[in-house]
Amino acid sequence: MAKRSLDTHGAFFKPYLRPGMKLLDCGCGPGTIALGLAKVIAPSTITGIDTEASQIRIAAESAFTQGVSNANFLEGNIYALSFPDNSFDAIFSHALFEHLQEPAQALRELWRVLKPGGIVGLRSPDWGGFLIAPYTPELDKAFSYYKWLQQQNSGNPYVGRELRALLRQSGFTNIKASASYQCYEPLSEATEYLALLIEASAKVDQAVGEEWTDERCLQRATPTLTAMSHALREWSQHPDGFFAQAWCEVVGQKIY
């Protein structure tokens, strides 16, 4: 996440921004995209929120180091935003909605704090659009297991394709949808992240029950998960390794 920037991961939203807009970034993480947004809307202020205090600290430190004075970072929850109605001219959210159990509830909050005429821009991956080479059954199992983990945590790995519908159903209009691919180079940027998540999985017992492994006890299931992470790391070193991830973007407007 620390390598993401406005130009690489938020470019779809830049044409809708102008200096003087008050902007909210939901799920800002370490703030790398937010700091880019801050420069576009200066001298107005961007407020970044995230549920993780550690990410807020990193974002605030980065703003100080880079001399970005029009960015504020706060702990916050998208389901219960601590801002008055009609507070922002624009709202941005990157790589958050795939983790939400109640995206419609989140969008009701975004609608509430967005000014009439304001715009919202969302971007999330869709795990149904991966391009992977060379293919191996072990790799397929690792990716399928990670998608299952996200679903067990009440997320939706396919939310990207649903963003347009979610905006429309929430009352937004003038919706523009697009999609793009991110190619990971080196592969280890993505594979190490996935491998660590699989290894740290607290769902091993459920994995057995769901037949992710044919083993019948935790002691035997654990090596199977280790084999998935090993397959990911081995793939990251393959000279022909290729991984392209699909991202979906939408922009909508609150007319009234």
Question: Tens of pLDDT along 101-116?
Answer: 999 999 999 999 999 9
Instruction: Report the alpha-carbon distance of residue 81 to residue 50 in Å, rounded.
Output: 11
- Per-residue confidence (pLDDT) for residue 216, from 0 to 100: 41
Mean pLDDT, residues 232-247 taken together? 96
Residue 202 belongs to some domain of the structure: no
Residue 208 — very low, low, confident or very high, per pLDDT cuts 50/70/90? very low
Residue 250, token pair as written in the block: 């939408």
Compute the mean pLDDT over every residue in the chain, rounded to the nearest whole number. 91
Question: Tens of pLDDT along 123-141?
Answer: 999 999 999 999 999 999 9
Residue 121 belongs to some domain of the structure: yes
- Residue-number span of the structural domain to which 19 is assigned: 6-126+155-179+247-253
186 pLDDT above the threshold of 60? yes
- Per-residue confidence (pLDDT) for residue 224, from 0 to 100: 83
Peptide bond into 43 cis (omega under 30): yes
Residue 237 belongs to some domain of the structure: no
Structural domains of the chain, count: 1
- Provide the whole-model pTM: 0.90
Residue 232 belongs to some domain of the structure: no
Residue 189 belongs to some domain of the structure: no
Residue 57 — very low, low, confident or very high, per pLDDT cuts 50/70/90? very high
Give the E-state strand segments of the chain in sequence order. 23-26, 46-50, 71-75, 88-94, 114-125, 131-133, 173-183, 242-253
> Which residue do the tokens 């991961």 mark?
9
Cα(first)–Cα(last) distance of the chain, in Å? 35
> Which residue do the tokens 């970005």 mark?
68
Residue 220 belongs to some domain of the structure: no
> Which residue do the tokens 């999330």 mark?
124
Mean pLDDT, residues 75-99 taken together? 98
- Per-residue confidence (pLDDT) for residue 169, from 0 to 100: 98
The amino acid that residue 26 corresponds to is: C
Q: Is 77 helix (H, G, I), strand (E, B) or coil?
A: strand
Helices 188-199 & 218-236 angle (0-180, nearest 10): 170
Number of residues written out for the chain? 256
> Which residue do the tokens 């609608």 mark?
111
Mean pLDDT, residues 207-219 taken together? 45
Residue 109 belongs to some domain of the structure: yes
Peptide bond into 116 cis (omega under 30): no
CATH code where residue 60 lies: 3.40.50.150
β-partners of residue 182 are 245
β-partners of residue 124 are 248
- Per-residue confidence (pLDDT) for residue 214, from 0 to 100: 42
Residue 20 belongs to some domain of the structure: yes
Instruction: Report the alpha-carbon distance of residue 230 to residue 138 in Å, rounded.
Output: 9
Choose among 55, 52, 45, 3: nearest CA to 24. 45
Question: Tens of pLDDT along 26-51?
Answer: 999 999 999 999 999 999 999 999 99
